[in-house]
Amino acid sequence: MQITAREIATFLGGTIEGNPDIVLDKPSKIEEGVPGSITFLSNPKYEPFIYKTNASAVLVDSNFQPSSSISATLIRVPDVYGAITQLLEAFTDISDDQRKIEPTAVVSEGATLGSNVGIGESTVICEGANIGDDCLISSHVYIGPNVKIGQNTVLQPGVKIMKDCEVGDNCTIHSNTVIGADGFGFKPDSNGCYKKIPQIGNVVIENDVEIGANCVIDRATMGSTVIEEGVKLDNLIQIAHNVVVGAHTVIAAQAGIAGSTKIGKYCMIGGQVGIAGHLKIPDRTNIAAQSGLNTGPKKEGTALFGSPAIAYKDYLKSYVGFKKLPELMKKLEELESEVKILRSEK
């Protein structure tokens, strides 16, 4: 794809400083810019790179004031991150030859495919599955019996969607993620041996959800495990049976959520967070990385940190004291010695 700086500025609603006719053919990182590429500056700590980048054009904030000369053409926009998102979408081109059904794909006669569906090599689509229009199903994907997938959804290589699960419109599920594995349900018998509890529910993923690679979302024991609209999940996340993740919540890598926990809307959950089962997490809760929750907060908008997690500011105050423990212990020993001396003098 080749496009001029002028065309990009028009597309993004920005203004140009420099050569408007320079031709650009790809995006790049600002520290790795090459001629013909366009990059961006949004984080001030990367500003030194703008004065030496080899990129031909740079997206900058409308109010950016350079401290030295810049050889690249500047495209000023009100929101750099929003603009780069639009730009990357424009550079992402799914070619028509991907929208075909490969001869090695196995599609059941009882499956229903919408129009303009692409299916990759060695993919299996089972009886009763229903695939919406404009979906792109990559290679080595398994879509189980009676699975429903909405329109314009992308399944990357190796995704497995087990029987009866549902995926909405405009979703992206990255490689090797499993939707609808059995929930971790076992009951000990009189001998202390564990017997499996049948997991007969499903997983429901609503519209505009993105799920990273190597995630597992377990089917419900009964009913549904639900990922509501707009949720964004990073890689390597485990979500157990009957969990509900509220709309527009984001969860970073390696987090684990135990069974039947209900997470509210617009929450932000950091990497390696562990959340115990049967909790209720209110809307707009923020949980810092590596925190562990055994109880849920009572109020919306709470920020938590630590394991077990406590109020974020309380944790920071406690940590200050914790770091000083060796010093405090030494002072305590000195005080005890002084007390002994004073007592002996009486």
Question: Per-residue pLDDT for 312 more than 70?
Answer: yes
Q: Which domains does the chain have, with CATH numbers?
A: 3-91 (3.40.1390.10), 98-315 (2.160.10.10)
The answer to whether the CB of 91 falls within 8 A of the CB of 107 is no
The answer to whether the CB of 121 falls within 8 A of the CB of 104 is yes
Predicted structure pTM score: 0.80
Q: Which of 140, 241, 248, 278 is catalytic?
A: 241
Look up tokens 């394991």; give the residue. 307
Element (H, E) at 327: helix 325-345
Question: Per-residue pLDDT for 203 more than 80?
Answer: yes
241 is catalytic: yes
The answer to whether the CB of 172 falls within 8 A of the CB of 153 is yes
Predicted local confidence at residue 328, as pLDDT = 86
CA 129 to chain centre: 27
- Closest CA relative to residue 133, chosen from 108, 114, 107: 114
Task: Looking at the chain, list the stretches that DSSP marks H as alpha helix, in order from N- to C-terminal side.
Answer: 5-12, 47-50, 80-91, 312-323, 325-345
Residue 227, both tokens: 């990922």
**pLDDT digit string (tens) for 109-126?**
999 999 999 999 999 999
Question: Per-residue pLDDT for 346 more than 70?
Answer: no
Sequence letter at residue 300: E
Look up residue 8 and give its DSSP letter.
Answer: H
**pLDDT digit string (tens) for 68-93?**
999 999 999 999 999 988 888 777 65
Distance between CA 155 and CA 15 in Å, rounded?
Answer: 37
Question: Per-residue pLDDT for 94 more than 80?
Answer: no
Average pLDDT over all residues of the chain: 94
CA 284 to chain centre: 16
Predicted local confidence at residue 307, as pLDDT = 85
